[in-house]
Chain A
């Protein structure tokens, strides 16, 4: 019995070994590339389709896709960095790039560009500049992005608003929002007290387009933060926004389905231009797009930034195969057609031209928005220093909430926030 068992066992083990040997030889010529991105169901569908296209066109290279939600993506990426097994091709945002470059996790692409492995000729100058850090080129842009105001067109028309939401000011917003609130339905506008992007825009408008000094500290003082909170407190007091408690309840939550324009709590919300399509999918009323309000007498506070880059990771084992894939991802007409506008407005002139005739109604809105804002934007500020993600969280989930719930005066909260931010930034350097 035991003999038989052993023989059967050995036989089984032998065939497993034979099989795995076979398996290995069958794949021997294939060069495997892993591409990892953060996404949403729509983006994942499109990206996997693109991978399939690429694999079909490039026998010998097998690209494998991996995807996660935004927050989990960076958690997993960090563990992969620690384990030395990062995927070959990874996705990064403008805000994260510097952190990952400083940690030495990305390979510069300059040599590949010089050798003609990556073709930048169709990419906008601004897109190339944005992917360049300390004189080295690290990231291929896969879509440009800008902050946007999203408004419910039906309510907007019902209230008889005739303000141009591209050039409007905070004062315009206030009167528009009050008018909408007076209809008795949703409030006029979401309250941006706890929105870091809102504060960044306001800083730009007050002359601090680059919010940070060279040693990675705030360039602005507590007075700017206090003024910003007062601006919104004023809107709130005028009845333009949902209650402070309601705003505090969604502070720091970036989900599209929590925005007032989607939940019906307000008629105007704030997001990014590459979220226009996704937000429209969540509502019945038609969406319109405008800029974040301007400060009368202020400077432009909004910029156009690349929404995402694809980058070559330090752990890539087959640079050439990875570069071929990255190059196709931004230049291959069939692949870029599948990707469409989902990651932002493509920063390749030919890709844009090819997409234009086939846009859906809401895609056309986001393209038109993008064209309309060009004369009103500021140049892109340098990438934020390390630690800003933590400062952002402190602002959105703590300091602003303390102000909204009336636990601290605006002046005290502003001073405390600036002090806390300074400590965080110092610790992160």
Chain B
């Protein structure tokens, strides 16, 4: 033990800033939010232990909780596949040897870097505003566009499009995956007279499965946690008519608009649980559709 300490002391000393940050700013708050989720806490008076009351209220009485779940699931189930398909399509085009590919890669990646930022959400708001750029352009071709952001029928769609637009990081990963597929396979397929479509389904997709799986899990978690776009575009409240009431937006409102910190903590743990369940499902399903090159069956 002594030897272990002596040998590793320097290492841990260098790790110390990170360790302090990790325990004080991550583990500590996570544990205390778990405790707070069983309390009634308004951030002013001391927390009151209420047992499972927060969770019971959520499931039994809170209609906005269910609405938030519905909005979030819709968003995840549509935006994640759409974004992945789009990213794969762009990656395949770039993979076909476009000139100045480095520029395109950087260009397409740009929205992903900006994506989480408030500025982009504000820009989106301007674009899809009632008399924003999108409706102006539609007007040029004689179409009267709807109120994209203030009509609950369309508001979520604009957010899904915003999410799709941030396809850069899965695209880069797809691109790397595509590059790793041996060209001989395509050549052999061509000799056997397999068409492009057949090649895609028989070679590209199966060999890309590990990369698709990786992207799927990552993007799914990201989508469940998605906050800033919905927060800015919905004016922080999930408006119009709660159609943008993402789970995270609801959580934020409960915590920082109405100061139900205990209830908000319970919501956070439910979200964690949901993400965990979906990730487990993804991993479980992966053994049926994801195969690795070096696998021996």
Contacts and interface: CB of A to CB of B under 8 A. Distances in A.
Interface of A: 71, 75, 78-79, 81-82, 103-105, 245-246, 248-249, 251-253, 389-390, 393, 397-398, 401-402, 405, 407, 423
Nearest to A399: B241
A246 to B, nearest CB: 8
B241 A407 contact: yes
If over half of B's interface residues share one DSSP class (helix, strand or loop), that class is named, otherwise mixed; here it is loop
Question: Which A-B residue pairs are the 8 nearest by beta carbons?
Answer: A249-B150, A82-B43, A103-B44, A397-B239, A81-B44, A401-B241, A75-B256, A78-B43
A387 B45 CA distance: 17
14 contacts: A78-B44, A79-B43, A103-B42, A248-B240, A390-B257, A390-B258, A397-B240, A398-B242, A401-B152, A401-B239, A401-B240, A402-B241, A405-B151, A423-B61
Contact of A245 (B43, B61, B147, B242): B147
Given A253-B235, A393-B257, 15 more contacts: A75-B256, A78-B43, A79-B43, A82-B44, A245-B147, A245-B151, A248-B150, A249-B130, A249-B240, A252-B235, A389-B257, A397-B237, A401-B152, A405-B151, A405-B240
Nearest to A393: B237
B186 interface: no
B34 interface: no
Contact of A252 (B43, B237, B259): B237
Contacts of A389: 257-258
A377 B151 CA distance: 38
Contacts of A253: 235
A249 B151 CA distance: 8
A347 to B, nearest CB: 29
Q: Max chain A CB contacts within 10 Å: which of B149, B241, B258?
A: B241
A81 B130 CA distance: 40
B150 A245 contact: yes
Interface residues of B, number: 22
Nearest to B239: A397
Contacts, number: 60
Nearest to A245: B147
B148 to A, nearest CB: 10
A408 B150 CA distance: 17
A266 to B, nearest CB: 15
Contacts of A407: 152, 241
A209 B44 CA distance: 31
A119 B42 CA distance: 35
A103 B235 contact: no
Contacts of B149: 249
B71 to A, nearest CB: 14
Given A248-B150, A405-B151, A423-B61, A81 B43 contact: yes
A389 B240 CA distance: 18
Interface in B195-245: 235-237, 239-242
A410 to B, nearest CB: 16
Interface string B236-275: 1101111000000000000011110000000000000000
Nearest to B43: A82
B151 A398 contact: no
Contacts of A81: 43-44
A398 B242 CA distance: 7
Contacts of A79: 43
Nearest to B41: A82
Contacts of A71: 236
Contacts of B45: 103-104
A34 B151 CA distance: 44
B231 to A, nearest CB: 13
Q: Max chain B CB contacts within 10 Å: which of A246, A401, A423?
A: A401
A38 B204 CA distance: 59
A252 B235 CA distance: 9
A398 B245 CA distance: 12
A402 B243 CA distance: 11
A251 B150 CA distance: 9
A390 B256 CA distance: 12
Contacts of A405: 151-152, 240-241
